[in-house]
Every structure is written in structure tokens, then in C-alpha cells.
Amino acid sequence: FATPLFIPRGDVYRGYDYFWNASVEYRLPLFYPDIHIGPLVNFQRVKATFFYDISNGWDVPTKKDQFESMGVELTTDINVFRLLITSIDLGARFTYIPEKKTGTWDFILLSFGF
């Protein structure tokens, strides 16, 4: 379930009295391989998403923090056992956090499109 409070990808939640955020994404299909591995898996489409997230949180009167993250997601639409009418979005995300000068990899199981 999604939280109503958006935290930049790759960062952890911290509580604040006031909080704002913004995000920019660019999504595009890379190619349509339509590869079948027997009756088990069908890889239908490979996609990329480039993103930049920024947030500011502050407590009254003085504490203020800014969070940023940027990165790329590579995902593919798959159909398992050819049983599902819809596909499953599966892939990986690389997130870079400039404040910490670190990058992390995450596994993505995004959605079951209906």
C-alpha cells in the first residue's frame, strides 16, 4: 500500500512538522523482445525510467533538512505460466543520493496491471 507521504527513493522516513516534495520522471519503452522460455515465462517489453526526487522537511523553529535522489529503473513486463491476463512489472532500480554520495540497487516488483 502506498503512503500518502512521498519520501525520495532510496532514503528513509524521518518525521517533521512540515514537509514538501517534488518528483520528475521520464519513462520510455526500450524494446519489445517477446521472448518465450517454454510455457514458463514470456518477456514482453523492456522499459526505462529516469527520475529525480527532492524533499524538504523542517521542524519549528530551526531544524531543516533537504533530501534528493536520482536514478534509473530498468523493468520488464513478464507473463508467468501464460496464466495471467495481465503482466507483472519486474526489474531493478539504481538510486544515487548526492548528500551521502552513495548509490544503491533495489529489486522492483511494481505492479499487476489491471
Higher pLDDT, residue 50 or 21: 50
Q: pLDDT tens digits for 89-99? A: 899 999 999 98
Question: Which of 37-46, 76-85, 105-114 is the most confident on average?
Answer: 37-46
52: exposed, middle or buried (Cβ count in 10 Å: 0-12, 13-18, 19+): middle
- Amino acid identity at 4: P
Q: Give the Cα separation of 57 and 48 in Å (integer).
A: 29
The C-alpha cell at 27 is 519513462
CA distances from 86 to 68, 73, 83 (A): 34, 21, 9
Separation CA 56–CA 5 (nearest Å): 12
pLDDT per residue as tens digits for the range 52-94: 999 988 888 777 888 899 999 999 988 887 776 778 889 999 9
